[in-house]
Structure 1
Amino acid sequence: MSPDSPLTGSTGSGAHWFVPGRIEVLGKHTDYAGGRTLVAAVDRGVTTTCSPWDGEGVTASSTAVPGELHLTAGVDPHLAAGHWGGYVQAVIDRLTDNFGPLAPCRIEVSSDLPLASGMSSSSALVSSVVLALADANGFTGSARWARNVTDEADLAQYLACFENGMSFKELPGAAGVGTFGGSEDHTAMVASRAGQLGQFRFCPIRLERRVAFPADLALVVAVSGVAAEKTGAARDLYNRASLATREILRVWNEATGRRDAVLADALDADPEALRLHRLVSGDDYLTRRLDHFLAESERIIPAAADALEAGDLDGFGAAVDESQEVADTLLGNQVPQTIALARIARRLGAVAACSFGAGFGGSVWAGVPRADAEAFAAAWSEDYRAEFPAEAARATTLITAPGPSARRLG
């Protein structure tokens, strides 16, 4: 990652930002534990336009829904859980706390990302609003920003803090939006390169390698029709998976006297995870959670990236198949619909196919020859409809490819 990030500078007036969604090729629930992911930005995302106006506070609108929201820093807008305006309010509050009052402005948000699909539409929304407001208010050109956001890794981590509520360097935290997540989404959004997959490790963020994605392959995404919301019951399930790694770490630190911050740090001291396994052996869920992390982060992702680098698509597909399997049997974040979509895709000839995102719904990606992508998408939808007609009525497909990172428009 370059310290000369394209995401610095400031217009000090209006601003127009695009932040892409992302596909997590591999790396389910690994980032917040210090593990690996294999990710790409896509060519769809969220665009936020911020322009000055003569009123008070922030007036926000979305092309997806009618009406306007009138938001003020520190004032609860009393919106329903999961309402898009709640994400915007969290951004307004955090930027005000970190950099000072915002100038009165209008923001308009538009998106061509499917909602609750696992393509990180909520993180793209938050990030685009952060970048547009910070840019328009001159924050990105300030000395305080320059001290704290020095490169793409810093930017990704700071953007993640708008959701997890954590402090970042000298920028204090707040409540966030209620998920105990990592920074994978934001890293993919600000540090991706067109035509490549990025293999990253987290806590702290570091790029391990970039792997070219075959130019003659497309990524076909099937949105299952089962919402992957980070609110309500789905949020509770997501947070259970996240908090389990913290519990493993608590047990480890208590037994060893160490002060490791994330699970990956404990593995540095216990590379074979022998003691970790002994410590959690009495808890079936924690054991499965540990086993999933070891499989996904330490073995499957390096094997998949090695296979891609070598042009071994069969080997890549086999590694991805294993990721899909352990997501079901160990992590437990799959639903019958995502399991079926991955199975159907492979039966139809996809090089590889896997669910992605937080799980408990969401989407599945399939790597297929670009020339066959539209026909594949139609057949995939038809076969899915035969098994899950109700969900298929809400399902969609799209065709994409690894794309570039977030950028200022105009």
Structure 2
Amino acid sequence: MIDPLTALTREARAARAAARWFVPGRIEVLGKHTDYAGGRSLLAAVDTGHTITAAARTDRVLRVRSEVADGTVEIDLDRAGTHEERAGHWGGYVRTVAQRLDANFPGRLRGAEITIASTLPLAAGMSSSSALVVGLALALIDLAGIAADPAFTDEITTPEQLGEYFGTIENGQSFGALTGDRGVGTFGGSEDHTAMLCGAPDALVQYSFCPVRHERTVALGPELALVIAVSGVEAAKTGAARDAYNRVSLAVTEILRRWREDTGRTDPTLADVIASGPAAVARLRELIAEDDYLPGRLEQFLAESERLVPAAAVALEEGDLEELGRLVDESQVGAEHGLRNQVPETITLQREARALGAHAASAFGAGFGGSVWALVPTADAEDFGARWLEAYRAAHPERTGASVAITRPGGGARRLG
């Protein structure tokens, strides 16, 4: 399979009349809120996602229509700052991508008619919003031949760097000389974007972040399947839900602020602080000891990134599914008590999955709703899913939108045709 960056650069010498891309959703197997702190994640791209079909226009107008969300978004790139979507509308992501690309590559972006089709559940924790950012960016870069621009090639030479750049489009940070802006208002990292671009078929991938570095690929044999239960509690990162999501990430910013003020150092991430010396963790604990939230946030990061992610990858490689389940259970507890980003529904789903015999199960994504994955024998996946959903509906009959799906790790984003 050709990676997305190669697909872009092979034909980037001239603008294209049309472009069509598939971008998968992702499952964060482990690595809860670790990426923007420089930590590790164990990830899978899935076999469902967005398909973005784009046809170039002769003017500088973008007209984007979604088959699964309301409305059509229209942006005149020459007047891009004159209109804003209402809070929480998906058009905010469209506008963010268009404005950032137009700012980073002046004069290159072309108008387009774009249609978005999807098999990915929206606001279910499988990162449909980041998939939208990635898909729109790929299609617009492809149409305009931006991958041949020296401003692009000077900064982006690997698929991992492309994922990191797309992450900064969403969070508003700069990427090298490619200057950032406000993004979409969430302070996340590039885990989702990396998984979508660098996911491997039939395997999980382990990455560390800030910068993005591949650490391990772990095969997932055909005898195992991932069953996803969508809780019916919307895991949104827009509107009021954004504040709850940002509290988790802003806690890392506060820990870093206290460290830098105390030591005079300029370590860019929490992972860099931890690696700075053997006394660093003890000093961090002292600096945040009196806070209600920060100690739990630090301990969750230490456990998740430094120990659980690599240990779980090794357990899966060695076929030790009992140990994998124990490690994943510990990660779930860290989310409940350290991050405090779980809701009763996702807690119920995780507990029920384990009670029904799943090798491992965990909530994933931003939290405050969304989905839970369970690793089960492929032969039992359909029956397990039905029993899991039945148990969940008995506990939470009000969640009428709950559903289950069976998936396997798929490949990364790819050009279609």
- TM-score normalised by length of structure 2: 0.95
- Equivalence for 1:264: 271
Residues 36-55 of structure 1: matches in 2 within 5 Å?
Answer: 36-54=40-58
RMSD of the TM alignment (CA)?
A: 1.7
1:322 and 2:330 are equivalent in the alignment: yes
Distance 1:321 1:244 in 2: 23
Distance 1:67 1:193 in 2: 34
- Equivalence for 1:385: 393
Asked whether the equivalents of residues 164 and 175 of structure 1 are also in contact (C-alpha less than 8 Å), the reply is yes
1:368 and 2:372 are equivalent in the alignment: no
- Equivalence for 1:83: 89
Distance 1:107 1:210 in 2: 34
Asked whether the equivalents of residues 270 and 276 of structure 1 are also in contact (C-alpha less than 8 Å), the reply is no
Residues 102-181 of structure 1: matches in 2 within 5 Å?
Answer: 102-181=109-188
In structure 2, the CA distance between the partners of 1:257 and 1:76, relative to structure 1 (3 Å rule), is: same
In structure 2, the CA distance between the partners of 1:7 and 1:138, relative to structure 1 (3 Å rule), is: closer
- Equivalence for 1:94: 100
**Paired residue type of 2:89:** H
Q: State the secondary structure of the residue aligned to 2:21.
A: strand
Distance 1:257 1:78 in 2: 41
- Equivalence for 1:234: 241
- Equivalence for 1:400: 407
Superimposed CA distance per residue, residues 208-248 of structure 1 (whole angstroms, 9 cap, x where no aligned partner): 11111232111100110001100123211111110111111
Q: State the secondary structure of the residue aligned to 2:401.
A: coil
Aligned-pair CA distance for 1:352:
0.5
- TM-score normalised by length of structure 1: 0.96
Runs of 4+ with >6 A deviation: 1-4
**Paired residue type of 1:274:** A
Q: Give the gaps of 5 or more residues in structure 1.
A: none
Asked whether the equivalents of residues 205 and 217 of structure 2 are also in contact (C-alpha less than 8 Å), the reply is yes
Q: State the secondary structure of the residue aligned to 1:83.
A: coil
Q: State the secondary structure of the residue aligned to 1:379.
A: helix
**Number of equivalences:** 409
In structure 2, the CA distance between the partners of 1:240 and 1:44, relative to structure 1 (3 Å rule), is: same
Asked whether the equivalents of residues 9 and 135 of structure 1 are also in contact (C-alpha less than 8 Å), the reply is no
Aligned-pair CA distance for 1:6:
4.3
Aligned-pair CA distance for 1:9:
3.4
Asked whether the equivalents of residues 42 and 404 of structure 1 are also in contact (C-alpha less than 8 Å), the reply is yes
In structure 2, the CA distance between the partners of 1:146 and 1:292, relative to structure 1 (3 Å rule), is: same
Distance 1:41 1:186 in 2: 10
Aligned-pair CA distance for 1:270:
3.7
Asked whether the equivalents of residues 3 and 151 of structure 1 are also in contact (C-alpha less than 8 Å), the reply is no
**Paired residue type of 2:404:** T
Asked whether the equivalents of residues 7 and 407 of structure 1 are also in contact (C-alpha less than 8 Å), the reply is no
Q: State the secondary structure of the residue aligned to 1:390.
A: coil
In structure 2, the CA distance between the partners of 1:343 and 1:305, relative to structure 1 (3 Å rule), is: same
Q: State the secondary structure of the residue aligned to 1:8.
A: helix
Aligned-pair CA distance for 1:67:
4.7
